[in-house]
Homo-oligomer: A and B are copies of this chain.
Amino acid sequence: MLVVKVGGGRGIGYDMVCVDLAALHAMGRPCLLVHGGSHETNMLATALGHPPRFVTSASGYESRYTDRATLEIFQMAYCGKVNKGIVERLQSLGVPAVGLAGLDGRLLSGPRKATLTIVEQGKKKVLRDDHTGKITSVNTELIRILYDAGYMLAVCPPAISDDHIAVNVDGDRAAARIAEALGVDELIILSNVPGLLRNPVDESTLVDKIATENLDDYFDYAKGRMKKKLMAVKEALAGGVKRVILGDARVAQPIQRALAGRGTVIGAATDH
């Protein structure tokens, strides 16, 4: 099986990803899709008068502050609009898709982090009532029974916390955990950039290959969301995934392109 993550940032359409998933399905290559919905969530939150708030943690990672109202908006955008839109599109392409959130059947679970230490204007500050969590367990049995019955899964956050609260989790890290739990060899992470760029505003500075043992050296190039992607890559590789490819979601055949090595390929140096 192949695990594919597609982001939910501005500029990402799911059509080309779905067409490519259908092509791979027809070729007999089973995939599990993990998707985001960040841009849809931002638009819905703004339209509902509860605009998104992004914060930077003390360790330098950006995340969405998720109070209960934001969590419900998040669920509407991710589980309602984006997930069901993808399932509908896949069905129209002949793929028997089933959409699940991480909380369904405790597909993705782990501890909640209710407080968040952030840095704002140089000062540390503690935010409470955050509905964010970390995935420590993947219900691979649920994945396998649906997979064995021939269904393709489209999975999205939220996950469910150990104390049974729906929690926002990072989609890239969710995909990494799923890939690790399923013991797959390859994880594809697609977003609205061609891969890791040495200069984030210049797409010609794409890093095309990184040997696992050198990955830490590249964190300096990663800004914003890309920093979390590299953390997800690191976790996936540490968990036994052999190769992770950061690819471009905005092109035709985005998954097959990534499989062919277009993007940033991270893995064992023997691949060089």
The answer, yes or no, to whether A260 is at the interface (CB within 8 Å) is no
Q: How many copies does the complex hold?
A: 2
Chain A, 140-182, contact with B by CB distance < 8 Å: what is the 0/1 string?
0110011001010000001010001110000000000000000
Beta-carbon nearest neighbor of A74 in chain B: B80
Beta-carbon nearest neighbor of A44 in chain B: B76
The answer, yes or no, to whether A187 is at the interface (CB within 8 Å) is no
Chain B nearest CB from A45 CB (Å) reads: 12
Which residues on B sit within 8 Å (CB–CB) of A158? 84
List A residues 91-107 near B (Cβ within 8 Å): 91-92, 96-101, 103-106
Chain B nearest CB from A221 CB (Å) reads: 35
6 A-B pairs with C-beta separation under 8 A:
A75-B84, A87-B101, A91-B106, A141-B149, A142-B149, A145-B146
Q: Is the CB of A103 within 8 A of B84?
A: yes
The answer, yes or no, to whether A185 is at the interface (CB within 8 Å) is no
The answer, yes or no, to whether A27 is at the interface (CB within 8 Å) is no
Beta-carbon nearest neighbor of A101 in chain B: B84
Size of the A side of the interface (Cβ < 8 Å), in residues, is 39
Q: How far is the CA of A34 from the CA of B146 in the complex (A)?
A: 21
Q: Is the CB of B88 within 8 A of A80?
A: no
Q: How far is the CA of A88 from the CA of B165 in the complex (A)?
A: 7
Q: Is the CB of A96 within 8 A of B88?
A: no
The answer, yes or no, to whether A72 is at the interface (CB within 8 Å) is yes
